[in-house]
Structure 1
Amino acid sequence: MRKTKKPLLVMVSLLLVMVTVLAGCGSKKEAAPPATPPATTNEGNKETDPPAEGDGGKWVLGEKPLEFSAYAHYGNTDFPKWESTPIGKYLSEEKQVKLNMIAAAGAHTQKLSAMMASDDLPDMIWADREDQDMERLRKEGKLVAYDEYLDKYPNLKTWMGDLDLLRAEDGKLYRFPNWYSSNPYGNAGYVINKKIYEELGKPPLETTDDLYNYLVKVKEKYGSEIVPFEPHRAQDRQGLGVLYTAFGEGASYTNLNANLLAVPKDGKLTSLLMDPVFREAQKYIAKLYREKLISQDAFNQTEDQVLEKVMTGRVAVFAGASPTDMAGEAQPELIKKDPDGGYFMIWPIHKPGLDKNKIYPGTYTSFGWNAAYITTAAEDPEAIFAFLDWYTGPEGMNVQFFGPEGKNWKGFDEQGQPNFTETYNPEEVAKIQSENSPVMFVGNTSYIDPSKYKYMKDLPFEEQDWRTRYQQTITWPTQLNVTEFSGIEPSPDSDEGIIKTSVNELFLEIYAKSVMAKSDEEVDKILDQGNKDLMDLGYQQLLDYRTANWQENLAKRK
């Protein structure tokens, strides 16, 4: 849910191998997502041969110069100078590829509006996958459709698979997705303070009853020194949304997302506030809150305040859309001070009587986060698409993550993954990935994650990257695919778009009040009145609109 465009990012550990950095999930549409990938895995069900050099009129990387302009349409996000990145320097010097980066310096709305008004567009724009400005450009005939290139340059088609839900209403494909995957990925779940857990006797932590009893013990023993349950930023639904999923088999974190705010039932999207699972979860959460088992400033704390608590080990249980980001950063610092300290992750909490294997604290989509668009301003759009296809393929991904072939990797194994060399340097690889991260604009999660894990899996357990270890064993197996709910949003200037803005603002107010309710009866009263108030704003019209688009998505997938 925390998609704050944030996409779930993969970083590299300076000591070992790649570490995933997110940015990412969750609902999170206010900030630009980091360009690194939300980690995922692939079981080798894709063809992984390196892309063949072109023939029959195909554009071939390095055969002739390619120069084009690129613009990142995100608030506070600009591409760095191309040659300042390892991949940019290599491709510029060795493959004759040069990107001219256009900066907006924070004035992205004004910058794109000016370029559109003057019809002086960049050759490539990197933006949110559902960005309405991109839809405006498409309707004005300013975007290039990719359909005629898909078979000629097949990496996207090979690794992404089903592209139908990415198509525009005219049936054509204009978006080249970033960090797409055909397999589960994501980092939502529960992180546990190891030292506190052991000091309390390692009690069971499987059910919602177990969790409540544990949090009570934490408060009794540590008082205000430790926050029993840290839900990250509650205004983004974060850790409280994770708790919601514990009360229903198949309950989706995305149900609380501002871009859905509904529960699917009998082929329709229905009111979240009237959902029995949501109401039961809110009563449980309200109980934790009024007993001061949840951070009392959950709705107004900053990222830095949360990070400080996690870094210093002042939380017993930390839940969120991507708690691995902060916990992974804190882990090496805490064990430096105390080898028996640090954090670990647990299998998702579930209500007693439910199947623990049908509880999904997080969600993912096959499309990742953002997308690259080629505009009609490009002199040779096929060359740009061919470059993107190389960039997202095995060779391109390996060069971005491990550097040019020869030093850290050489050739491919029978699964199409890189052969790592004896001269593989983890610190160098970490630096390469970190510096390339801002220009990883068509990342292929399906391919690169197994490649990264190939190196790490042979390390002793204690040397494995903390994030990657728990992604492999806990988070990836427990994320729910919600691709079917992609692209169901109204345009901002439509009736439904205007309703959405009002509904989202009021919902957060209702949500916070229900969390702070003094009793179960008050929770029901707040949600009953809240549902009525939302309906008065047009909530049902918004639900009907999203239902129609959701059903269209389902029809496309049949």
Structure 2
Amino acid sequence: MNTMIASKELPDVIWGDRGADVERLRAAGMLVPLDDYLDKYPNLKKWAGDSTLNMLRSSDGKLYQIPNWYTSQPAGNAGYLLNKKIYEELGKPKLETTDDFYNYLKSVKAKYPNIIPFDPDLAKDGQGLDVLYGAFGENHPQSYLSERAVPNGDKLTSIFLDPVFRESTQFASKLFREKLMAQDAFTQTTDQLKEKANNGRFAVAAGSSPTEYGSKGDAELKKKDPTAGYEMIWPIHKEGLDKNKIYAGVYNQLGWNVSVITKSAKDPEKIFAFMDWLTGPEGSRAIMWGPEGVLWKGLDEEGYPKFTSTYSDDHERTSKMMDPMVNLQFDGNTAYIDKAKMKFESQLPAEKQNWETRYQSSITWKTVYNATEFVNLRPAPESEEGIIAQNVETIYLEARAKAVYAKSDEEVLSILDKADQDAKAVGYDKLLEYKTKKWQENLVKIGSK
């Protein structure tokens, strides 16, 4: 990025994270403002809405970013994936609290020595560990982990001293040292995780999007045994907590990431026109379900596709079309895609519903936290706070891994205490002040203050 800015040789469009890099490009005068196109090409303005676009405006008041997977409703795939065959063979025990969960994993280990009781996905990225975090505190979203900061009144405070983080890390460490958790959790790859899912090699998995490998794994297992497969369960919770205030994942209005058009583009308006088409109903249908005639044919009175029997009967073909487009989509329109799916799926019997859509509607969308207030808290990397943030990040990642590998609950707390001291030594308090200020500004923007 530094080289591109210095050389002034940029691609026409850059797709990446919101925040510091976008602001560096804007400050260097390298981005095209988009406000003049919004009324001429109305899809983005209509579907994202003014509140979302205003949250994306830069300090000069102009809009430079086209959001991806923005939404006006709950969305997400985080949660727990359950190996159906193993669960049934163990008598379908109650699986609601963290104690239930621990006892179930012990049962799996005792009866199935070649099965991984719990796989936390790519633990080095948080994933299943972050999902477990939510089990130990009401209204405790994973945003606290990703921002390395926890609200206490009107201030953001140390993640290392957060009682929920400390208890959830002790629980994760206990699972790991008793070999109830995948021992390669911090080193496995996505391909290895998919292989495990396709061959039913874990009893429970958790992550930010287990639906992706759960749906494929379900189809693979059913080829060999129609009674096998995967299902999702309501997020587990610590005894005494309200299960309806436990969140397995988060979403925000702004979605995942953004595209920006640079001044290297010869005709930025044409690029915007294309991306506006892509985020509108016609573009959304084309990229998610392919051209008309196979998975869908014609539109209903609301402009949603009329799905064909191929969509509902050939789940493998439908997943093969849809799944790659989740991650390779430049300005996905969550509301249109999800409403179209749900409108159709709700009319089907359970056995014909798309696997992912079924659990989105019944579980994952009901257990996801609106974390819009925590977006855009990260400082520019070259700023003083940005340098502090990089150091704190290193401390956090190392401490969390060490804590999971700890030999006792006491050692977990000792590691987290040391991490808090180390973070404060590199300026953590100053970073928390910066994030607090940005958080309070967000609360005003979204009307929560």
Question: Structure 1: any 5+ residue segments left out of the alignment?
Answer: 1-108
1:131–1:411 distance in 2 versus 1, CA, 3 Å: farther
What one-letter code is carried by the residue in structure 2 that aligns with 1:140? A
Q: Residue 273 in 1 paired to residue 163 in 2?
A: no
Aligned equivalent of 1:381: 268
Q: Residue 188 in 1 paired to residue 78 in 2?
A: yes
Matched residues, percent identical? 57
Q: Deviations 1:37-74 (Å, cap 9, x if unpaired)? A: xxxxxxxxxxxxxxxxxxxxxxxxxxxxxxxxxxxxxx
Alpha-carbon separation, structure 1, partners of 2:259 and 2:246? 34
1:251 maps to which of 118, 129, 140: 140
What one-letter code is carried by the residue in structure 1 that aligns with 2:60? D
Note if contact 2:212-2:323 (Cα within 8 Å) is conserved in structure 1. no
Note if contact 2:20-2:379 (Cα within 8 Å) is conserved in structure 1. no
Alpha-carbon separation, structure 1, partners of 2:366 and 2:378? 28
Aligned equivalent of 1:232: 121
Alpha-carbon separation, structure 2, partners of 1:543 and 1:355? 29
What is the aligned-residue RMSD (CA, Å)? 2.5
What one-letter code is carried by the residue in structure 2 that aligns with 1:152? K
Alpha-carbon separation, structure 1, partners of 2:282 and 2:205? 38
- How much has 1:429 moved relative to structure 2? 6.6
Alpha-carbon separation, structure 2, partners of 1:208 and 1:428? 37
What one-letter code is carried by the residue in structure 1 that aligns with 2:46? T
Aligned equivalent of 2:196: 309
Aligned equivalent of 1:96: none
Aligned equivalent of 1:170: 60
Q: Residue 391 in 1 paired to residue 278 in 2?
A: yes
- How much has 1:329 moved relative to structure 2? 1.5
- How much has 1:430 moved relative to structure 2? 6.3
Alpha-carbon separation, structure 1, partners of 2:90 and 2:241? 26
Alpha-carbon separation, structure 2, partners of 1:359 and 1:209? 15
Note if contact 1:401-1:429 (Cα within 8 Å) is conserved in structure 2. no
What are the residue-to-residue correspondences of 1:366-445 with 2, within 5 Å?
366-404=253-291, 409=296, 411-420=298-307, 440-445=329-334
- How much has 1:245 moved relative to structure 2? 0.5
- How much has 1:435 moved relative to structure 2? 8.0
Q: Deviations 1:65-115 (Å, cap 9, x if unpaired)? A: xxxxxxxxxxxxxxxxxxxxxxxxxxxxxxxxxxxxxxxxxxxx5xx835x
1:480 maps to which of 369, 384, 404: 369
Aligned equivalent of 1:292: 179
1:167–1:194 distance in 2 versus 1, CA, 3 Å: same
How many residue pairs match? The answer is 443
Note if contact 1:164-1:557 (Cα within 8 Å) is conserved in structure 2. no
Aligned equivalent of 2:32: 144
1:307–1:435 distance in 2 versus 1, CA, 3 Å: closer
Note if contact 1:175-1:371 (Cα within 8 Å) is conserved in structure 2. yes
Alpha-carbon separation, structure 1, partners of 2:290 and 2:99? 49
Alpha-carbon separation, structure 1, partners of 2:28 and 2:124? 36
- TM (norm. structure 1) is 0.74
- How much has 1:148 moved relative to structure 2? 2.7
Alpha-carbon separation, structure 1, partners of 2:390 and 2:427? 11
- How much has 1:362 moved relative to structure 2? 0.7
What are the residue-to-residue correspondences of 1:523-542 with 2, within 5 Å?
523-542=412-431
1:466 maps to which of 350, 355, 364: 355
1:422–1:349 distance in 2 versus 1, CA, 3 Å: closer
What one-letter code is carried by the residue in structure 1 that aligns with 2:236? I
SS in 2 for 1:366: coil
Alpha-carbon separation, structure 2, partners of 1:285 and 1:432? 36
What one-letter code is carried by the residue in structure 2 that aligns with 1:388? M
Aligned equivalent of 2:245: 358
Alpha-carbon separation, structure 2, partners of 1:170 and 1:503? 30
Q: Residue 158 in 1 paired to residue 49 in 2?
A: no
Note if contact 2:68-2:255 (Cα within 8 Å) is conserved in structure 1. yes
What are the residue-to-residue correspondences of 1:327-366 with 2, within 5 Å?
327-366=214-253
Aligned equivalent of 1:507: 396
Aligned equivalent of 2:13: 124
What one-letter code is carried by the residue in structure 2 that aligns with 1:195? K
Range moving further from structure 2, 402-411 or 136-145: 402-411
Q: Residue 212 in 1 paired to residue 102 in 2?
A: yes
- How much has 1:168 moved relative to structure 2? 0.8
- How much has 1:407 moved relative to structure 2? 6.8
What are the residue-to-residue correspondences of 1:441-456 with 2, within 5 Å?
441-456=330-345
Question: Structure 2: any 5+ residue segments left out of the alignment?
Answer: none
Note if contact 2:341-2:357 (Cα within 8 Å) is conserved in structure 1. no
Note if contact 2:20-2:381 (Cα within 8 Å) is conserved in structure 1. no
Alpha-carbon separation, structure 1, partners of 2:131 and 2:363? 14
Q: Residue 520 in 1 paired to residue 409 in 2?
A: yes
Q: Deviations 1:458-501 (Å, cap 9, x if unpaired)? A: 44422322112111111111111112111111111111111112
Alpha-carbon separation, structure 1, partners of 2:417 and 2:326? 46
What one-letter code is carried by the residue in structure 2 that aligns with 1:193? N
- TM (norm. structure 2) is 0.91
1:437–1:189 distance in 2 versus 1, CA, 3 Å: closer
Range moving further from structure 2, 162-171 or 455-464: 455-464
SS in 2 for 1:274: coil
Q: Deviations 1:261-286 (Å, cap 9, x if unpaired)? A: 11112111110111111122122222
- How much has 1:421 moved relative to structure 2? 6.2
Q: Which has the higher helix share?
A: 2
